[in-house]
Amino acid sequence: MESYLLDWANLLLRWVHVITAIAWIGSSFYFVFLDSSLTPPEDDDLKKQGVSGELWAVHGGGFYHPVKFAVSPPKLPGHLHWFFWESYSTWISGFALFTVSYLFSASTYLIDKSRMDWAPATAIVVALAFFVVFWLLYDAICRIFGQRKNGDAIVGALVLVLVCIASWLACHWFAGRAAFLLVGAMIATAMSANVFFWIIPGQRTVIAQIKAGEPVDPIHGKRGKQRSVHNTYFTLPVLFAMLSNHYSFTWSHPQNWLVLILMMFAGAAIRQFFVMRHGYKLGRNGNPLPYALVGVVVIVGAIAWMRPAPVAAVATPMPAPGVAPVSGAAGASAAGAGSQIDFKSVQAVLAQRCYMCHGEQVQMKNMRLDSPALVQQHAQAVYQQVVVQKLMPMNNATGMTDAERALVKRWFEAGAPTGP
């Protein structure tokens, strides 16, 4: 029952997280587009009001005319819409999902004993420390270098180094799938912290100054804009890290930390293309195409580098005259893909590697594999989890070998027989 309820909690939290993330990313993308697409106002009245840019757009059968004031409007409207609950709801739902999926079962999903054999409590504390330490270091970098000449370039370079270090540590300390998600959640935490600690407080200060009739300090808008731009570059790397848990060939790679860095770098480069593209159409920016090409080249290079080595076909040895054919596990290991598979050898692998979680005493995910009928019933799931995605055994806690996975593959491709 506990596993069943956790599955429901995971599903509902993931659903909420995706919905709120779509709302947050959508508004972020829209305002980056809006800022890059504004043109100087043509109407004299708008100029007198302090409007620095305007945009005419058509959508959904209507025309829209948003304008942006350089520092502040001459008068506050009666209703002012704030964009912050999208960010907060995304982080809260994401952290709850991370807790249910990884922290609640740290010994199963977070810890890989072949990397770090630490207690669950220790692993949880270290994982949470990634969120705090990354934010403190990133925020310090922005404070120290953000307002200097060429500050954006300096901040970008230092944050890249910081992300690389965090990726290397996470992938060497935690299970691969958890490490990728942890780095994504770490960056997403910094994104939401930007909203909570800088963007919204700066906006509240500006509004308070307007209401008090005081001169508005433009530094608050500049800082908020800087952190908002950082968030838009973080978006595609975070999305890759979050989606990667469905694709084991990324986080199970021997150099998974480098895979993570390359794909996040490619995402940031491609996002730069889209950011610059809006202004390029108005003649403000240089050609953004090189950034897209860099991102694509990095992805193509990663695909070529990570391609699996070809598996040489193994010929079935012909028995000598008067000698019986080899049978059992040894015969299955030597047999080619088209040979008859002895189910007893597959069953022996399942008993050694899978029964502890899918046997008589424990049935994780309501699945048992301790009888031929049940194995045949779940054959497709076994093939997907053990062979295709290599997700099971979880973190390979029972040490299933590549030869055993190959045996399961041949068995499934032979029709998943359970007879002698």
What is the rounded CA–CA span in Å between residue 406 and residue 337? 9
In percent, how much of the chain has pLDDT > 70?
Answer: 91
Q: Three-state SS for 41?
A: coil
Predicted pLDDT of residue 420? 63
Q: What is the mean pLDDT of residues 20-46?
A: 92
User: Does residue 396 form part of some domain?
Assistant: yes
Instruction: Judge if 218 and 283 occupy the same domain.
Output: yes
Instruction: Judge if 262 and 391 occupy the same domain.
Output: no
Predicted pLDDT of residue 127? 97
Instruction: Judge if 166 and 218 occupy the same domain.
Output: yes
Q: Is the link from the previous residue into 393 a cis peptide, with omega within 30 of 0?
A: yes
Instruction: Judge if 291 and 343 occupy the same domain.
Output: no
Instruction: Judge if 284 and 366 occupy the same domain.
Output: no
Q: Which of 123, 175, 103, 120 is nearest to 397 (CA)?
A: 175
Answer whether residue 279 shows pLDDT above 80: no
Q: How far is CA 191 from CA 183, 211, 226, in A?
A: 13, 29, 12
Instruction: Judge if 133 and 206 occupy the same domain.
Output: yes
Predicted pLDDT of residue 338? 41
Surface-to-core class of residue 35, CB atoms within 10 Å of its CB (0-12 exposed, 13-18 middle, 19+ buried)? middle
**Both tokens of residue 231?**
């968030």
What is the rounded CA–CA span in Å between residue 245 and residue 166? 18
Residue 57 near residue 46 (C-beta atoms within 8 A): no
Maximum average pLDDT range among 192-196, 322-326, 387-391: 192-196
CB-side neighbour CA atoms (13 Å) of 292: 8
Predicted pLDDT of residue 144? 94
CB-side neighbour CA atoms (13 Å) of 362: 8
Write the pLDDT tens digit of every residue in 294-320. Answer: 999 999 999 999 988 765 544 444 444
User: Does residue 181 form part of some domain?
Assistant: yes
What is the rounded CA–CA span in Å between residue 323 and residue 207? 91
Answer whether residue 322 shows pLDDT above 50: no
What is the phi-psi region of residue 236: left when phi exceeds 0, alpha when psi lies from -120 to 50, beta otherwise?
alpha
Write the pLDDT tens digit of every residue in 69-78. Answer: 988 888 888 8
Q: What is the mean pLDDT of residues 322-332?
A: 40
Instruction: Judge if 104 and 177 occupy the same domain.
Output: yes
Instruction: Judge if 205 and 348 occupy the same domain.
Output: no
Structurally, how many domains does the chain consist of?
A: 2
| Final residue belonging to a domain, choices 247, 274, 306 | 306
Question: pLDDT averaged over the chain?
Answer: 86
User: Does residue 233 form part of some domain?
Assistant: yes
Instruction: Judge if 269 and 356 occupy the same domain.
Output: no
Rg (CA), the chain: 27
Give the β-pairing of 57-59 and 67-69: unpaired
Predicted pLDDT of residue 245? 86
Predicted pLDDT of residue 318? 44
Determine which helix (DSSP H) or strand (DSSP E) holds 53, and give its type and residue range.
strand 51-54
Predicted pLDDT of residue 332? 39
User: Does residue 376 form part of some domain?
Assistant: yes
Between residues 401 and 187, the one the model is more confident about: 187
Predicted pLDDT of residue 336? 42
Instruction: Judge if 92 and 125 occupy the same domain.
Output: yes
What is the rounded CA–CA span in Å between residue 329 and residue 327? 7
Predicted pLDDT of residue 323? 42
Write the pLDDT tens digit of every residue in 235-249. Answer: 999 999 999 988 888
User: Does residue 226 form part of some domain?
Assistant: yes
pLDDT tier for residue 151 given thresholds of 50, 70 and 90 = confident
User: Does residue 312 form part of some domain?
Assistant: no
Q: What is the mean pLDDT of residues 56-67?
A: 93
User: Does residue 44 form part of some domain?
Assistant: no
Answer whether residue 63 shows pLDDT above 50: yes
Instruction: Judge if 293 and 364 occupy the same domain.
Output: no
**Both tokens of residue 399?**
């040490």
Instruction: Judge if 148 and 296 occupy the same domain.
Output: yes
For residue 391, the enclosing domain spans 328-413
Predicted pLDDT of residue 1? 56
User: Does residue 64 form part of some domain?
Assistant: no
